[in-house]
Structure 1
Amino acid sequence: MSVNEMFSGIQGFLSADQDVREDIRKVVQGLEQTAREILTVLQSVHQASGFKDNEPLMRVFVLSLSLSLSLSRFHEHWRFVLQRLAFLAAFVVYLESETLVTREEVTQILGIEVNREKGFHLDIEDYLSGVLTMASELSRLAVNSVTAGDYSRPLRISNFINELDSGFRLLNLKNDPLRKRYDGLKYDVKKIEEVVYDLSIRGLAREPGSGGEE
């Protein structure tokens, strides 16, 4: 094979590679728009009126992802939107059940895989990043709950976030961006603790299940 023939083959690969990148860009743009629409719906939980939709919150997730394993080297193109979708899934599950969504549950919600070998999947780092974003959203919800007159929710959020913090302390995080995100969790814990403390000194704090909610 001549040099020209070799480089012609390389050019063909580069052109095909660029086509794949463009296809991925379009898919990611669609996912980002979907994520923005989902977040807009969920933001109503911060209002005094709360989330009034009678349909299950999980119905906001109508997603179907179908990218093959051969595209795994393009992970950076969709890392951010996957982290955002993992956060939204975690937030929805918490609002419905006040429990922590598992990585497996997130992949079921998004219609993707857990394992890299099976195709388009959710990395554990992206899952954890989504969970940490949810923690920040819950710290905000704790403050807004007090404004709305819901004095028991901040205590439940506090218990949940402290348990989440204890779980993260068990991890030996090597991923620098994820480590930095985890460092921010202590500020969320502190913010929620301040809310709970304020409720306590005002005599408004009620332990979950105490039967003394305002």
Structure 2
Amino acid sequence: MASTQDIFTDFQEYLNADHELREEIRVVTRDMNQLVREIQTVLQVIHQPAQGTSMAELCKTAEDMFGKGKELYRQLAEKIPENQYYRYSDMWRFVSQRFVYLAGLIVFLRDGRLVTREEVAALLGVAVQREDGFHIDLDDFLMGLLNMTNELSRLAVNAVTSGDYERPVQISRFVSQLDAGFRVLNLKNDALRKRFDGLKYDVKKCEEVVYDLTIRGLVGAHNKD
């Protein structure tokens, strides 16, 4: 029978191994956060585009950078013991949400539509469902979409300054549709619910931009719908 000392020695070995693993995870997630910042820097050009800026080329540049993200997620997945995803997931939760937001922004700017969870998973080289292994958690995907709306409402304002009067109409319609979609959900996650409550301000901000453009005769009144 093991002595008390032996039992606590085993505990310490377990704690040491857990600490070492967390440090390894931090190294990878630090690189992930750096990559997110680099992609954001590329996409910030949309707010003050230079003459001749191609939205398609900008999106392609940003999307190509996800290749490095795929490698980082591969490294991360290799470090997580089987069935231990949720033990450590808080360590990469926020960076995953930022990747979702960036992927969603790219797809909207390029195609004018909502990104799917499957598309984000493919960009990052991970699974969609938890039973398939390392995956994009649904709550993180939804939070990423909500964070994207704040960037879009900002773009709606800045597009007017750049003389692009149709972009705010497109954004307003999209954000309103997203709001309607989220209202279908019975959200249990407190953080997610709180962020969803803030979506109404993004919707209102976009609607005000479109209303102002309509009053000034810069877009057709029918575009409000």
**Aligned-partner residue type, residue 38 of structure 2:** E
Q: CA deviation at 1:70?
A: 4.3
Work out whether residues 58 and 93 of structure 1, in 8 Å CA contact, stay in contact via their aligned partners in 2: no
Question: How far, CA to CA, are the matches of 1:205 and 1:136 in structure 2?
Answer: 23
In structure 2, the partner of 1:212 is none
Write the mapping of 1:175-214 to structure 2, written as runs, cut at 5 A. Answer: 175-206=189-220
In structure 2, the partner of 1:54 is 57
Q: CA deviation at 1:48?
A: 3.5
Work out whether residues 162 and 189 of structure 1, in 8 Å CA contact, stay in contact via their aligned partners in 2: yes
In structure 2, the partner of 1:131 is 145
Work out whether residues 90 and 100 of structure 1, in 8 Å CA contact, stay in contact via their aligned partners in 2: yes
In structure 1, the partner of 2:20 is 19
Write out per-residue CA displacement over residues 51-110 of structure 1, whole angstroms, 9 at most, x where no aligned residue: 447362421312221213444111111111111111111111111101100111111111
- Partner-residue secondary structure (3-state), 2:92: helix
Question: How far, CA to CA, are the matches of 1:164 and 1:70 in structure 2?
Answer: 33
Work out whether residues 48 and 147 of structure 1, in 8 Å CA contact, stay in contact via their aligned partners in 2: no
**Aligned-partner residue type, residue 173 of structure 2:** N
> Is the aligned partner of 1:96 residue 2:97?
no
Question: How far, CA to CA, are the matches of 2:209 and 2:193 in structure 1?
Answer: 26
Work out whether residues 83 and 126 of structure 1, in 8 Å CA contact, stay in contact via their aligned partners in 2: yes
Question: How far, CA to CA, are the matches of 1:71 and 1:81 in structure 2?
Answer: 19
Work out whether residues 58 and 92 of structure 1, in 8 Å CA contact, stay in contact via their aligned partners in 2: yes
Question: How far, CA to CA, are the matches of 1:16 and 1:70 in structure 2?
Answer: 17
TM-score, normalised to structure 2, is: 0.88
Aligned residues: CA RMSD: 1.6
- Partner-residue secondary structure (3-state), 1:48: coil
Change (3 A) 1:48 1:41: closer
Write out per-residue CA displacement over residues 108-164 of structure 1, whole angstroms, 9 at most, x where no aligned residue: 111111122332211111000000111111101111111000111111111111111
Unmatched 5+ stretches in structure 2: none
> Is the aligned partner of 1:119 residue 2:133?
yes
TM-score, normalised to structure 1, is: 0.92
How many equivalent pairs are there? 208
**Aligned-partner residue type, residue 180 of structure 2:** S
**Aligned-partner residue type, residue 43 of structure 1:** Q
In structure 2, the partner of 1:86 is 100
Question: How far, CA to CA, are the matches of 2:215 and 2:196 in structure 1?
Answer: 30
Q: CA deviation at 1:185?
A: 0.5
In structure 2, the partner of 1:211 is none
Question: How far, CA to CA, are the matches of 1:112 and 1:103 in structure 2?
Answer: 11
Q: Percent identity?
A: 51
In structure 1, the partner of 2:185 is 171
- Partner-residue secondary structure (3-state), 1:140: helix
**Aligned-partner residue type, residue 46 of structure 2:** V
